[in-house]
Amino acid sequence: MAYPAERAFELVESAFERGRLAHAFLISGAHGSGKETLAARIIRRVNGGGSSGGIDLFGEPVVEEIPPLDELEGPWVHILRPRMKSRRIAVDAIRELERPLRLAAPEGTWKVGVIAEADRMGAEASNAFLKTLEEPPARTLLLLLTANPQSLLPTILSRCVRLPLTGGTSLGSDGGAELVQALNTVADAGFGNPRTALTLKAVFSGVLEKRREAAVAAAEAALKEEEQTYKQVTEGDWLKRREEFHKAAAESEYLDARGRLFDVLMAWMADVLRVKAGTDAEGLDFPGSFAALQPVAAGETEPRLLGRIEALESLRRTLDTNAQEQLALEVGFLKAFA
């Protein structure tokens, strides 16, 4: 069951007030669902800086001002994000996060470790983090944030209290629905042949190209507006830097769109596994795909499905390097679906 962010906070706050706060929470949800804001509220609450609001002297609801998550970082709050060029979280970063959690904090203070985009942990980093999950230091709170929880190790999932959030950008937005429709269409024929793999790759690439074109057009429009406004009052070097900024912003938006499409692929494949395990339509990320998922679930063994999911995750990692994108996509989709 997924919760609105406000309800999720109320559940955590209630557990904290009763002295029954879990040591690890997995906060998951689509982009824009409020994962980081919820994490920030929890951090402030356990360390005495926030509450669920209330009523002021005039009977009006108190609006709680939540600072950005990164502004809460300090001696006893540590936030880890993917910082490598490959957008992976390395084992060394996990060890750096864990080190201060072993120190003694002042009385009444909770030590908090936050891993944003937790699904970006590689196998070695995940296994290293498991040790802290299994034996957390006293008064330590671990918050894992992800839009893609199915990519985490089952052993990590089993050791966290899960807080799935509603809202945000749905998996079906920005071309996601088109990709799901393609998956549903080829599902009836089943996986295991190159034609299916290349059909899916063509749809994936087509959707992605549309997102690139939209991002570039938006960046060019923004730059043109700045040139018209500031051309006469700034040095040419400033406008050159702004051009580079907008190009980088467009590329970042494109990479984010690519990541969201991978989230769609992974969620759809996770639904196949759920159907194979006996889950009904209500328990799926894509309940409307239930009928299409059934023949795939019936025709695939669990090890083969897990192998296909691993192939997709491997493709995602490859694309985070300097690999030639279209070639990597073709090889990766053949491995995942042929």
Mean of pLDDT values over 210-219: 86
Residue 285 has pLDDT above 90, yes or no: no
DSSP string, 217-266: HHHHHHHHHHHHHHTTTS-HHHHHHHHHHHHHHHHHHHHHHHHHHHHHHH
Please check whether residue 73 lies inside any domain of the structure.
yes
Shared domain for 263 and 322, answered yes or no, is: yes
Which is it for strands 77-80 and 111-115: parallel, antiparallel or unpaired? Answer: parallel
Strand order in the sheet with 77-80: 77-80, 111-115, 140-146, 24-28, 161-164
Which of 113, 130, 164 terminates a domain? The answer is 164
Shared domain for 160 and 186, answered yes or no, is: no
Query: What confidence tier does 3 reach under pLDDT thresholds 50, 70, 90?
Result: confident
pLDDT at position 233: 62
Shared domain for 122 and 155, answered yes or no, is: yes
Cα end-to-end distance, the chain, whole Å: 34
The CATH number linked to 108 is 3.40.50.300
Shared domain for 9 and 120, answered yes or no, is: yes
Shared domain for 108 and 57, answered yes or no, is: yes
Please check whether residue 170 lies inside any domain of the structure.
no
pLDDT in tens, 289-314: 999 999 999 989 999 999 999 999 89
Shared domain for 92 and 114, answered yes or no, is: yes
Q: How many CA atoms lie within 13 A of 284 on its CB side?
A: 25
CA distance 111 to 133: 14
Neighbouring CB atoms inside 10 A of 74's CB total 11
- Name the residue range of residue 61's domain: 5-164
pLDDT in tens, 264-284: 898 899 899 999 999 888 888
pLDDT in tens, 170-212: 777 778 889 899 999 988 777 888 998 999 999 999 998 998 8
328 in Cβ contact with 204 (< 8 Å): no
Partners of 147 in beta bridges: none
42 in Cβ contact with 8 (< 8 Å): no
Partners of 114 in beta bridges: 79, 143
Tally of structural domains, the chain: 2
Exposed e or buried b per residue across 266-287, where buried means at least 16 C-beta atoms within 10 angstroms of its C-beta = bbbbbbbbbbbeeeeeeebbbe
pTM of the prediction?
Answer: 0.62
CA distance 319 to 259: 10
Amino acid at 193: N
282 in Cβ contact with 53 (< 8 Å): no
Mean of pLDDT values over 80-100: 83
